[in-house]
Amino acid sequence: MVEKRIPLAVSQAVQHIMNYASEGPEEYVSLESAYTRFLAQDIAADQDVPPFNRSPYDGFAIRAMDSQSASAEQAVRFKVVGTIGAGFVFEERVQAFEAVRIMTGAPIPLGCDAVVMLELTMNEEVDGQAFMSIKRPYTTGTNISYQGEDVKKGDILIEKGQSINPGIVALLATFGYAEVPVFRKPIVGIIATGSELLEPNEALVPGKIRNSNAYMTMAQIERAGATVKYFGKFSDDLAVCIDVVKEALSEVDLLITTGGVSVGDFDHLPAIYAALEAEVLFNKVAMRPGSVTTVAALNGQLLFGLSGNPSACYVGFELFVKPIIRRILGSAKPHLRKEKALLGEDFTKANPFTRFVRATIHFANGQLIATPSGFNKSSAVSSLATADAFIVLPGGSRGYEKEMLVDVLLLDDLQGSEWPWDNITKYSKL
C-alpha cells in the first residue's frame, strides 16, 4: 500500500541534478546596477593602469640628477616653469634645474623622473618668477606611479561567473564598461501546497499554520542570485494543480513546490509528476532533514519538490536548487562552500543518515567554530533565523563531541565549492 522509496546518497542526488545544469544567457546592465550581478565574460585589461606615469602626490616634478648636490647646508634651487593639474599634459620638455608644480594624478612631464612632495619644498618668488628649493637629493623614480604598475594591458582581471563586488565595479569603470555583460537572472517559480497553510496576513485558526516556506524560499532564491515568481497555493483539485504546474513551467526556468511530496494520501506531487510524464530523478535522499526531497525533469526543465517542513525545505533548497542557479549564473563552483570547523558543542545522538545541522558560526582567534543554532527538528523554523552554516554530520553509529573537526557548508557566501561531496559521503553508511 505504501510506495517503497529507495534513498539516494546526497552526492548522487546532487549529481543527478547537475546533469541538467548549464550556463544561462547573458544580458547587459548599466554599471550602476551591476553590483551583486554575475559577470558573463572574462574582463581583460585593454589598457595599462595607470595609463601613464603620474604623480601620487602634490609637489614638484624634477630631474633627479639636478638634486644630487642638495643638502641641509646647501639647498638646490629650481626655476618653476609651469603648473600641471590632474587631467592635463605639460607640453614642453623640462630642462636642467627646472621644476613643474604638479598635482596628484597628473602625468609626469617629459624630462622629469622624480617628484618632491610639496611639504618638503621651500618656495619663493623673485621678480614675478617662482622658485622652489630642496635640501636633499632624490633618486630616479621617487614618487612616481609608473604606467602599468597596477595592471598591465592584456591581463585577465576577473573571470566570468564572479559576483560583482565594489572592487570589481571599480575595475569595470576603469576599463570603460558603462554597460556590463552579466548572466540574466534565472526566474524561479514557487508553488506552495498544504491545506493547513494560511497566508501571513490571515489570522490563525485551529489546525492551521501560516505559510512560511514560500516566503523563506523567495529570500533564498534572491540570495542565490535569481528572481522569484510566486504562483500562490495549490488548489485541492488535482486537475487544477496539473494545469497550474504546466502554466508555471512555461513562465520560469526552474519550478519549486513546497510540501506535498510525502507518501500521504493528500500529497499530490507524485500524481502531478505522473500526469505530466515528468521523469522523477529521485524521491528520497539519505539525509536529515529533507529526506522526502523529490526532483523531476520535464523536457530538460527541473521541478523541485521540497519538503513542507521549514528546515527540510531550507536545506533542500541550498543543497539542490542553489547549485543549479549558480551554474546558470556562470559559477564554476556552484555548490555551498565547504570548510572545516570545530564543533561548538556535543551532538551525541547517533543517526544512520547524513545530517545537515543548522548552525551559527563564529571565530575564536581565527578558528572557525560551528554551534547548532537551536531546535533542530526538520519542522523547526526558529533555528533558521540564526543559521549561517550547516554542520555536516555523516551518518553512523557514533555521536559527535565538542571540538571535533567537522565539515561545514557556509550559507552567506559567494565563492562556493566545486564539488563538496566526496569527502563527506565516503563516511556515509549508504
Residue type, 291: S
Nearest alpha carbon to residue 138 among 61, 81, 65: 65
**Please, where are the H alpha helices in 2-127?**
10-18
Q: Determine if 290 is a binding residue for a copy of itself (CB under 8 A).
A: no
Q: Determine if 378 is a binding residue for a copy of itself (CB under 8 A).
A: yes
Q: Determine if 116 is a binding residue for a copy of itself (CB under 8 A).
A: no
Taking the complex as a whole, how short is the minimal distance between the CB of residue 69 and a copy of itself, in angstroms? 24
Among 96, 240, 385, 404, binds a copy of itself (CB under 8 A): 385
Q: Binding-site residue total for a copy of itself (CB under 8 A)?
A: 117
Q: Is 16 or 337 the residue whose CB approaches a copy of itself more closely?
A: 337
**Restricting to residues 312-341, which ones interact with a copy of itself according to CB under 8 A?**
314, 339-341
**Restricting to residues 87-106, which ones interact with a copy of itself according to CB under 8 A?**
87-89, 101, 103-106
Among 15, 142, 143, 212, binds a copy of itself (CB under 8 A): 212
Among 8, 14, 24, 50, binds a copy of itself (CB under 8 A): 50
Quote the Cα angle for 265-269-270, to 5°.
Answer: 75
Taking the complex as a whole, how short is the minimal distance between the CB of residue 153 and a copy of itself, in angstroms? 12
Tell me if 244 sits within 8 A of 190, measured CB to CB. Answer: no
Residue type, 315: V
Q: Determine if 381 is a binding residue for a copy of itself (CB under 8 A).
A: yes
Q: Which stretch binds a copy of itself (CB under 8 A): 12-20, 69-77, 117-125, 328-336?
A: 117-125
Taking the complex as a whole, how short is the minimal distance between the CB of residue 230 and a copy of itself, in angstroms? 7
Among 11, 213, 258, 283, binds a copy of itself (CB under 8 A): 213
Q: Is 246 or 362 the residue whose CB approaches a copy of itself more closely?
A: 362
Among 16, 215, 242, 275, binds a copy of itself (CB under 8 A): 215
**Restricting to residues 148-177, which ones interact with a copy of itself according to CB under 8 A?**
149-151, 157-158, 164-177
C-alpha cell at 334: 556552484
Question: How far out from the chain centre does Cα 416 lie?
Answer: 8
Taking the complex as a whole, how short is the minimal distance between the CB of residue 144 and a copy of itself, in angstroms? 11
**CA separation, residue 316 to residues 119, 155, 251, 294, 421 (Å):** 63, 40, 22, 9, 15
Pairwise CA distance, residues 239 & 223, whole Å: 33
Q: Determine if 262 is a binding residue for a copy of itself (CB under 8 A).
A: yes
**Restricting to residues 390-429, which ones interact with a copy of itself according to CB under 8 A?**
405, 412, 414
Q: Which stretch binds a copy of itself (CB under 8 A): 20-28, 192-200, 249-257, 277-285?
A: 192-200
Pairwise CA distance, residues 77 & 141, whole Å: 20
Q: Which stretch binds a copy of itself (CB under 8 A): 249-257, 275-283, 306-314, 325-333?
A: 306-314
Taking the complex as a whole, how short is the minimal distance between the CB of residue 331 and a copy of itself, in angstroms? 16
Among 11, 53, 145, 354, binds a copy of itself (CB under 8 A): 145
When computed from its CA atoms, the radius of gyration of the chain, rounded to whole angstroms, is 31
Question: How far out from the chain centre does Cα 360 lie?
Answer: 19
Q: Is 278 or 341 the residue whose CB approaches a copy of itself more closely?
A: 341
Contacts of 51 (CB under 8 A, 6+ apart): 147
Pairwise CA distance, residues 318 & 313, whole Å: 9
C-alpha cell at 12: 548522487
Quote the Cα angle for 92-96-98, to 5°.
Answer: 65
Q: Determine if 207 is a binding residue for a copy of itself (CB under 8 A).
A: yes
Backbone angles phi, psi at 326, to 5 degrees: -70, -30
Task: Name the DSSP class of 264.
Answer: S
Burial of 19 from C-beta contacts in 10 A (0-12 / 13-18 / 19+): exposed
Q: Determine if 131 is a binding residue for a copy of itself (CB under 8 A).
A: no
Handedness of CA 364, 368, 371, 373 (dihedral sign): positive
Among 263, 275, 298, 430, binds a copy of itself (CB under 8 A): 263
Taking the complex as a whole, how short is the minimal distance between the CB of residue 391 and a copy of itself, in angstroms? 12
Residue type, 231: F
Q: Determine if 203 is a binding residue for a copy of itself (CB under 8 A).
A: yes
Nearest alpha carbon to residue 17 among 244, 204, 333, 297: 297
